[in-house]
Amino acid sequence: MKAGLFICVYGVLFAASFYTYNQFYSNPTVEDAGRLLPAQVKEIAQADGEETLKEIVKQANRTGSRLTIAGMQHSQGGQTYYPGAVMIDMKPFNQVIDFQPEKKVITVQSGATWDDIQKHVNPYGLAVKVMQSQNIFTIGGSLSVNVHGRDIRHESLIDTVQSFRLLKPDGTIIRVSRTENADLFPYVIGGYGLFGIILDVTLSLTDDELYQKNTKEFDYSEYSDYFQKEVKENPAVKMHLARLSVAPSSFLREMYVTDYVTVEDQQLLKDYETLKKERIVALPKFFLGLSRYSGWGKDAFWDIQKQYMLEDNGSYESRNNVMRSETDFMAYESGTKTEVLQEYFLPVNEFADYIDDLRRVLEKEDEFNLLNITIRYVEKSDQAVLSYAKEDMFALVLLINQGRSEEEVKKSKAVIRKMIDVTLDHQGSYYLPYYSYPSKEQLETAYPRIDEFFRKKQQFDPDLRFTNHFYEEYNE
């Protein structure tokens, strides 16, 4: 009798322990760069080959599992995972498949990074046309959010894509281009991994070039006119960026801009074409750290940034190296805080009035810790269904330091919704790869084709094999 009771109790405890193990240990917890949406996934599957990827999709169809797709996971709103889903890590799937330098074309697997491409094409005097300002991201992830960068003579990334292969939710593979399965082209690019797995991509390249940096500072009210006359109408300017002060002493008033102007004697390129590596970052990292905790720190960091850029005025840099911006100094770890991004797009001629309205909102938000605003330019691009550039626009990238508690997230959400309202009032839009602070109404205003996008998703993937936080949050 006692033996039977012991066996029964032991069996119950064993079953409970096994359940606990499966729930809390065999199901890994993942999070993206924003660190605000940790979730337990069913498993992390490694993309170590095309056959493996096909089997992952077929297995998911047999078991009914959901799938998500992850690269470097710098999208910050859970676009790369979902609770209980199988998260596919694409980073091992990173080979260069074909390179035709004479045609300025390269085909790479989607887990390759921009750094991988740059190292491959730089010895041939070639460069990427459009990518982010950093080269650490995967190609598949970049396509899925349809990135843009410092180049002002091309549109967003979709403009440079010749074709890609897509592993569909049913486990079959198709090629997608502007002529093959063309109806999918504007949905998958900028589609946040919801239509299947991008296996490999064929991209158009351009010549590497030598640029001279031209940096100057001025008042924000002069920026639109300067850009229209001195940058956009000058074909020698190939790249451009600006920074707007968040320091208390010059808040949203002072700016500096850097134009990258083509050097006449391109023979000099050979002296600058070696790909640069990260340099010593201790000093900027120190002052960025100070800026997180005090207005004095923000003033000091702004002065140092300006001084450095102005002293570097007139220096030379290759196109490939302009696209290898340093990021190590921005690395940030905290148990209670995180840093999130927002990106707002607005018409060029709206800039000064927009900044005035944005300043009025933010001057009332003492606890909102804005660390940086970088400005780029993106030409009108309506190729993607979820296009963010309704016309020629400035893109303002905001870096925000915030707490991770529920209350602090709520406070950030309230301020960000106010900023988005200001942006929409100025005929602008916002970028989707970040935390899901915006309301459904704001999403529909910024992206009037969002319902069309969701309908296409449901038509193409009726079993909802591919999903993520973004889709589940907004597809109500």
Predicted model pTM: 0.92
Which phi and psi (to 5°) does residue 429 adopt? Answer: -150, 180
pLDDT tens for the 476 residues of the chain, in order:
455 554 554 454 444 444 444 444 468 999 988 889 999 999 999 999 999 999 999 999 999 999 999 999 988 889 999 999 999 999 999 999 999 999 999 999 999 999 999 999 999 999 999 998 889 999 999 999 999 999 999 889 999 999 999 999 999 999 999 999 999 999 999 999 999 999 999 999 999 999 999 999 999 999 999 999 999 999 999 999 999 999 999 999 999 999 999 999 999 999 999 998 866 567 777 888 889 999 999 999 999 999 989 999 999 999 999 998 766 656 777 889 999 999 999 999 999 999 999 999 999 999 999 999 999 999 998 999 999 998 999 999 999 999 999 999 999 999 999 999 999 999 999 999 999 999 999 999 999 999 999 999 999 999 999 999 999 999 97
Q: Are residues 153 and 257 in the same domain?
A: no
- So what's the pLDDT on residue 329? 55
Q: Are residues 113 and 248 in the same domain?
A: no
Q: Are residues 195 and 269 in the same domain?
A: no
**Which CA distances in Å does 446 have to 216, 337, 442?**
33, 29, 6
Q: Are residues 114 and 125 in the same domain?
A: yes
Q: What is the pLDDT of residues 383-431, one digit of tens each?
A: 999 999 989 999 999 999 999 999 999 999 999 999 999 999 999 999 9
Is the residue at 89 inside a domain?
no
Q: Are residues 245 and 175 in the same domain?
A: no
Q: Report which DSSP code applies to 248.
A: G
Q: Which domain holds residue 142?
A: 96-207
Q: Are residues 303 and 371 in the same domain?
A: yes
Q: Are residues 296 and 220 in the same domain?
A: yes
Domain boundary among 182, 207, 232: 207
CATH of the domain at 193: 3.30.465.10
Instruction: Give the integer Cα–Cα distance in Å for 117 and 269.
Output: 19
Q: Are residues 191 and 261 in the same domain?
A: no
Q: Are residues 156 and 223 in the same domain?
A: no
Contact 41, 86 (CB under 8 A): yes
Instruction: Give the integer Cα–Cα distance in Å for 438 and 417.
Output: 6
Q: How many other C-beta atoms lie within 10 A of the C-beta of residue 462?
A: 10
Q: Are residues 243 and 263 in the same domain?
A: yes
Q: Are residues 268 and 306 in the same domain?
A: yes
- So what's the pLDDT on residue 320? 96
Q: Are residues 302 and 219 in the same domain?
A: yes
- What is the number of structural domains in the chain? 2
Is the residue at 476 inside a domain?
no
Domain boundary among 160, 188, 207: 207
Is the residue at 225 inside a domain?
yes
